[in-house]
Structure 1
Amino acid sequence: MTRLPNRRLLALALTAALAPALPALAQSADPFAPAGTPAQSPDAASVAGAGAFTVSDIRVDGLQRISAGTVFTYLPVERGDVLDSTKAAAAVRALYKTGFFEDVHLDRQGDILVITVQERPAINKLTVTGNKDIQTEDLMKGLKENGMAEGDTFNRLVLDKMGQELTRQYQNRGKYNVEITPTVSRLDRNRVDVTITVKEGKAARIQHINLVGNEKFSDEQILDTWESGEHNWLSWYRRDDQYSREKLSGDLEKLNNYYLDRGYVDFNIDSTQVSISPDRSDMFITAGVSEGDQYKVSSVQLTGDTVLPKEQLQKIVLVKEGQIFSRRLLELTSDSITATLGNIGYAFAQVNPVPDVNREAKTVGISLQVVPGPRVNVRKVEFKGNTRTSDEVMRREMRQFEGSWYSQAAVDRSKIRLQGLGYFETVDIESKPVEGSNDQVDVVVNVKETSSGSFVFGLGYSQLSGLSTQIQLSQENFLGTGNRVSVQAQHSTYQSRYDFSFLNPYFLDNGLSLGYNLWWRELDYSDFGTAQYSSNSGAAQVVLGFPITETDTVTGLFGIDTNQILSSGSTPQPIREYLDALNTRTFHAWRTELGWSRNSLDNLLTPTRGMQQRVWLETTLPGSTVEYFKLNYSISKFWPLSRHLVLNTRGELGYGDSYGDATTRNICFTAGSFQDTDNNTTTPPVFVPGPDPTDPCLPSSPDYDKTVTADGLPFFENFYAGGVRSVRGFRDNTLGPRQAPFANSTYLQPVGGAFKTTGSLEMYFPTLLDTPAARASAFIDFGNVYKDVDSFDAGELRASTGLSLMWRSPMGPISISYSFPLRKEEDDELERLQFTFGGSF
């Protein structure tokens, strides 16, 4: 009995404590309670007393960046509407759905609906750091597509989802230790900076791959075709030990194809298990397989409408009766028939292989059902995206013509030719059926233009030329006409050069090109690593080119040029004798050149397959100061050995000689001095021609005659070798014959020769560097220069080996090589580290 009063006291105490909170709870429960107004206010309506009401006006509070009109656009309530709890909930949902607001609250002041909002902040700056495997551009593109870009409204939920997606992408690449850390920094005016920090970690390495159930083929035979592989000493380069879910999926498909290509029709992958070590650094893969029996082909038939005679298509059927069944040969046969029909207008042709499996006899009968579809005619060829380049320039590269039968081969060739122009970043060709017609298509060429002009002011450096400066203004697609114009000025340690060139690649509709070259050069060969003399030369030339096939071109050149030679006492004696024999220091020439070239490379900058050949004959015409010719041949072929290796074999031959009569003169040579019989003066030891070829010397002098001859290829047209562009590891232009300024001098200067042979074997590593702008390689170079072709001696060839790196950097191309000589002589000038910076590839 004594406890009851205590319970009553407790109840009264709780009631007294909760009493101040009850009005507030009631107000917050009422969605229409006036904002900031006590429940006892005469203008406020409580939940019990207010209920629905007619909205006389709407006010929006809390807006900063978003206008009230935007809110009214999404708000499903207008003036005059009766607002109840159902419509209020719908209004709140509608405003939240816009994604503009973090908080939405509805209040009431009399009959005025008050909407109080808290805007989501705007993204001021979005930064991604630490990512290497996934390019920043790709990440930014994915973020933008999901509403995370600078200027967009910030949504924490979207940011968290993107973090989860990035984690998933990195784990698919085998990086299970990746950490994605988003950081949001608040700024004034309701803005935020978002930083996504990526710690990629190291990819989990595949330590072991276990195949269970394979009896016909060993693990080594099967895994040799896989992109994934166990960790080995070459994994640093191949990266085959890095686990990737997509890569493993492709390898399992290769496993299936491996058996189907060898006749195991019933092959099946029973199970696949991937496990990871506790520290998430090592992966272990197990695949269980059932091989089954090997099947042979019992028969091969062509059925359906073959269009062409069956005998003609039968020649391209690779699957033969009695062979072991191969799905690869079956697919190649289907593709060949489809391509053959596609090239004569049947753009939608299909070949459906229908197998008839006899498991008792272990044979497969194959029926190739040909469904040609309608023969398709091209109604028109349309170009899109070419804002600068005229349609005419693109149309002349097309090999698929309007009004002709559709040909997939012609379409593919057209794409290659358009890409070869260098005007477009991307080229895509699609065929669109003409509406209302089943036998016509429109060929639409979509291009994305790239900059085809450039203004270059640059600095370069090489060990040969030292510091060089260059100014060049060029336009490969002048005014969208396809014409090429270039103006260039260049200065380095040993040369000053000024050039102007113009080329119209389609001077005539048949593809005849016409161009002009004007140039002037001042060369100081004493800084060129060769014989010490200087020359000032210039030329005006006309160039013609005519394509004879898709890959072959014939070129011709005609021009006039002048070359002034400036010699000195340090100039090698044979050069001075050559000049004395001709009794001139200025050479004029009428020059012609005829050449043939073939180019089937798959890429001009970083080729991986194909061949490039060129042979050209250069000669001066009768009436020139010196009559001579030069014959050159070069070849370069790329062999793709694997995804990781590309072999380049290249060679070059050059030969030159004079074709006119040799010029012979006598000069007077005296003991200790040279005597000029015209001026009766004695000069230092320099050869001086006498006035009378039969008796050039003074009778009273103890002298004798010397006969000098100008014959063979002029010294200023000699071939040179050595350096980064021929035989690396040897100083530029130093291989070959050498001559001294005087008979007893030990200072030998390279003078070049009339016969040159060089070659190289170079192995490129395409996957070593994760950028198409750089290439690493290992090479073996060999070659030399000889006085003439009769002086050739294979035992005199020089050779070197080494490593090379070529990089098209934003500041200009860089080439670096480090070489070790394999065959050299004692007086050879070596240069192990060689590099160039600047210029162009």
Structure 2
Amino acid sequence: MRQMLLKNGYLSAQVDGKIINRQKIVLTVREGIRLSLGEVKIEGLPSDEAQKLVKIYSRPALKNHFFTSGDPPFREEDFTTGLAYILQQLNAEGYWKAEASVSNRTTDPATGAVNLALRVNRGEQHRIATPRITSSDPSLAAETRKIAKPFIDLPATTENLNAMRNAVDQNFQRGGYPDAEIRMLRTLVGNDQFIPEFFMELGKRVRLNQVQIEGLQITAIPKNPRNVYQALEGEWYDEAAMEKRVRGLLATGAFSWAKVDTQPVSEQEIDATLRLREGRARSFSIAAGADSYQGFLLRTSYANRNVFGQLLNFSSGFEFSARGVLGETKLTDPWLFGSDISGTLRGYALAYGREGYNTLETGIEAKTKWEISKHYQLELLAGSALIDLGSDGLPISALGDAFYTHQRIRLNQTLDYRDSAILPSKGWHLETPLEIGAAIGSTSTSYFSSALSGGWYYPINSRYQFNIGGSGEFLIPSGGGDTLPIDLRLFNGGSRSVRSFPERELGPTVEGFPIGGEAAWNANVELIRTISGSFKAVTFSTQARSHGASMKSAPPRSS
């Protein structure tokens, strides 16, 4: 009982017990005043940084505390824990000689609130210096310094240090040293130099003899799991490549667990055993949502992630919105012909309403995707579709060819150095699609199109982020732009291009309806401020234009 009271801030609590009889014990509790964590101020830092560290300092008091139970309790042990959290955060940011202490403490006798003033001195931010290497093999020093060279003179943040350590680890793991022991310590020189110290013993270098598979019941052998690893057999054992393929197997959804064990078979060879646990391959899902352009959305889908035990991913479903209905079926092989290239076949049917016209479309597509490296990806797509356009306000003449077959081939290259593809905070990316196609109808038209899009993300500090992004695209039809079907033209506006304009409505118009063009571009700058957690405020400015050689052009617009 007393321990519970102490944990809740009753530091002077007393609990006495008295045994009345075998069935009854009487406890006398004198709580005393409850101490709670009051106002915490941090001196010596800008207000934004100080507020962030106040939250970090308060974490021990807030642990297991519910907002409905009053102010968080004050506990003496939270003093040192909170200060340790602050130093840990500053170390992670590269301030390895930071100091933090309590400069003042007052207790309000009426409320029991303990108010604290903390003094924080970050010192200089350390930079990564040339590492020192200790090893029985002198040749490792030069190789390790070469790997670490791109990190030298960067801030000695936890992120940069972990990246350097991982680069060194993976280099030797890829080189056939599964038993390598690599430790990284540190030496601080002066006020701003961080010298990494590597202690390395690589052990024996070995080749991978054979990969065995265990735990398969549905999945066929020697289908994909075996083929995926065959390329590694006979080579120096690459632990990083093995782990990458394990992650790939788990990503298929066909397996719930995977592990790789190794066994020596000779002085310079090992066997690897891949132990797998198959998961539930089939699923049915329903999702609902809303979109500013499509309105209410409802999607139903069925998936089988291990069709015929071949690790083929099958999915089929419908999507209903205020604008139309989409039905599609896809079949994906994540390792096409046992390679690192994935392949997808897709069949679909679409009934959709746009501004001024509607579309009925059925088609098939074949797509391959090759992740050549962590940052570089290629996609190749070929498709054929039958399309029927109908007027819903636009003159028939503005639609171009209204009933046609669309054939196309598209090559897309992506360079991505962002820290996250979904919510990036730093880095950059570029995407460059090239497409050739033909609309075969009453007046057949072929075309070539290309585009360049990308963005750069820069964190100014812990609260502010600056982004630059944009895209430019054009298409060249063999005939006049007005004969090109309207749904092959380029449009601007909406959440994915110019957010202050309605979807697709920035550009040439006829009778108030957008008709698209043969070229479009947009550029935007953003300043993002973090309010709290994932809640952010965004200020942005955009310039954009859409036009066509044989259509009405729209002047540049800004927002």
Per the TM superposition, whether the score is higher than 0.5 is: yes
* Superposed displacement of residue 597, structure 1: 3.1
Instruction: Assess if the C-alpha contact under 8 Å between 2:419 and 2:425 holds in 1.
Output: yes
Please show how residues 264-663 of structure 1 align to structure 2 within 5 Å.
275=105, 277-278=107-108, 279-284=111-116, 304-306=135-137, 308=139, 310-315=141-146, 340-346=171-177, 347-350=179-182, 370-375=200-205, 393=224, 401=232, 404-407=235-238, 409-410=240-241, 413-414=244-245, 417=248, 421=252, 434=263, 454-478=283-307, 481-525=310-354, 530=355, 532-567=356-391, 570-572=393-395, 576=397, 579=400, 585-599=402-416, 605-608=422-425, 611-621=428-438, 625-639=444-458, 649-660=468-479, 662=480
| Alpha-carbon distance in structure 1 between the residues aligned to 2:411 and 2:366 | 12
Which residue pairs with 2:28 in the alignment? Answer: none
* Superposed displacement of residue 315, structure 1: 4.3
* Superposed displacement of residue 435, structure 1: 8.7
| Alpha-carbon distance in structure 1 between the residues aligned to 2:342 and 2:413 | 14
| Alpha-carbon distance in structure 1 between the residues aligned to 2:194 and 2:324 | 73
Which residue pairs with 2:23 in the alignment? Answer: none
SS in 1 for 2:84: helix
Inter-CA distance 285–797: structure 2 relative to 1 (3 Å threshold): same
Inter-CA distance 534–642: structure 2 relative to 1 (3 Å threshold): same
* Superposed displacement of residue 614, structure 1: 3.0
SS in 1 for 2:83: helix
| Alpha-carbon distance in structure 1 between the residues aligned to 2:435 and 2:139 | 50
Aligned length: 500
Which residue pairs with 1:736 in the alignment? Answer: 507
797, 802, 808: which one pairs with 2:557?
797
Inter-CA distance 369–794: structure 2 relative to 1 (3 Å threshold): farther
Structure 1 letter corresponding to 2:397: R
Which residue pairs with 1:750 in the alignment? Answer: 514
Residues 71-113 of structure 1 show CA distances to partners (whole Å, capped at 9, x for unaligned) of xxxxxxxxxxxxxxxxxxxxxxxxxxxxxxxxxxxxxxxxxxx
* Superposed displacement of residue 436, structure 1: 11
Inter-CA distance 315–277: structure 2 relative to 1 (3 Å threshold): same
* Superposed displacement of residue 576, structure 1: 1.6
Instruction: Assess if the C-alpha contact under 8 Å between 2:527 and 2:540 holds in 1.
Output: no
Residues 435-459 of structure 1 show CA distances to partners (whole Å, capped at 9, x for unaligned) of 9999887767788877665423454
* Superposed displacement of residue 755, structure 1: 1.7
Please show how residues 32-431 of structure 1 align to structure 2 within 5 Å.
164=4, 168=7, 176=9, 204-205=37-38, 207-209=40-42, 219-220=44-45, 228-229=53-54, 246-252=81-87, 275=105, 277-278=107-108, 279-284=111-116, 304-306=135-137, 308=139, 310-315=141-146, 340-346=171-177, 347-350=179-182, 370-375=200-205, 393=224, 401=232, 404-407=235-238, 409-410=240-241, 413-414=244-245, 417=248, 421=252
Instruction: Assess if the C-alpha contact under 8 Å between 1:632 and 1:655 holds in 2.
Output: yes
| Alpha-carbon distance in structure 2 between the residues aligned to 1:301 and 1:343 | 22
Instruction: Assess if the C-alpha contact under 8 Å between 1:612 and 1:636 holds in 2.
Output: yes
| Alpha-carbon distance in structure 2 between the residues aligned to 1:364 and 1:540 | 57
Which residue pairs with 2:63 in the alignment? Answer: none
* Superposed displacement of residue 739, structure 1: 1.5
* Superposed displacement of residue 225, structure 1: 9.4
SS in 1 for 2:487: helix
SS in 2 for 1:481: coil
Instruction: Assess if the C-alpha contact under 8 Å between 1:400 and 1:410 holds in 2.
Output: no
2:553 maps to 1:782: no
Instruction: Assess if the C-alpha contact under 8 Å between 1:342 and 1:349 holds in 2.
Output: no
SS in 1 for 2:241: helix
SS in 2 for 1:250: helix
SS in 1 for 2:139: coil
Instruction: Assess if the C-alpha contact under 8 Å between 2:413 and 2:433 holds in 1.
Output: yes
Range 249-258 or range 493-502, more displaced: 249-258
* Superposed displacement of residue 756, structure 1: 2.0
* Superposed displacement of residue 556, structure 1: 2.8
Which residue pairs with 1:809 in the alignment? Answer: none
Instruction: Assess if the C-alpha contact under 8 Å between 2:331 and 2:344 holds in 1.
Output: yes
Inter-CA distance 390–327: structure 2 relative to 1 (3 Å threshold): same
Instruction: Assess if the C-alpha contact under 8 Å between 1:475 and 1:486 holds in 2.
Output: yes
Instruction: Assess if the C-alpha contact under 8 Å between 1:620 and 1:628 holds in 2.
Output: yes
| Alpha-carbon distance in structure 1 between the residues aligned to 2:436 and 2:205 | 54
Instruction: Assess if the C-alpha contact under 8 Å between 1:400 and 1:414 holds in 2.
Output: no
SS in 2 for 1:576: helix
Q: Identify, as 1 or 2, the structure richer in strand.
A: 2
* Superposed displacement of residue 542, structure 1: 3.0
Structure 2 letter corresponding to 1:751: I
Instruction: Assess if the C-alpha contact under 8 Å between 1:715 and 1:751 holds in 2.
Output: yes
**Aligned Cα root-mean-square deviation (Å):** 5.5
Instruction: Assess if the C-alpha contact under 8 Å between 2:369 and 2:378 holds in 1.
Output: yes
| Higher relative contact order (CA closer than 8 Å, sequence separation 6+) | 2
Point out where structure 1 has 5 or more consecutive residues left out of the alignment: 1-159, 179-200, 211-218, 232-241, 663-709, 741-747, 800-841
Instruction: Assess if the C-alpha contact under 8 Å between 1:591 and 1:620 holds in 2.
Output: yes
Structure 1 letter corresponding to 2:41: H
* Superposed displacement of residue 596, structure 1: 2.4
Range 469-478 or range 650-659, more displaced: 469-478
* Superposed displacement of residue 656, structure 1: 1.8
What percentage of residue pairs aligned between the two structures are identical? 16
Q: Provide the TM-score with structure 2 as the length reference.
A: 0.67
| Alpha-carbon distance in structure 2 between the residues aligned to 1:204 and 1:794 | 60
Q: Provide the TM-score with structure 1 as the length reference.
A: 0.47
Which residue pairs with 2:485 in the alignment? Answer: 714
Inter-CA distance 735–338: structure 2 relative to 1 (3 Å threshold): closer
* Superposed displacement of residue 316, structure 1: 5.5
SS in 2 for 1:251: helix
* Superposed displacement of residue 658, structure 1: 0.8
SS in 1 for 2:337: coil
| Alpha-carbon distance in structure 1 between the residues aligned to 2:230 and 2:82 | 38
Inter-CA distance 577–465: structure 2 relative to 1 (3 Å threshold): closer
| Alpha-carbon distance in structure 1 between the residues aligned to 2:397 and 2:94 | 75
Residues 148-207 of structure 1 show CA distances to partners (whole Å, capped at 9, x for unaligned) of xxxxxxxxxxxx69x839x84xx7xxxx599xxxxxxxxxxxxxxxxxxxxxx9983553
* Superposed displacement of residue 508, structure 1: 1.3
Structure 2 letter corresponding to 1:494: R
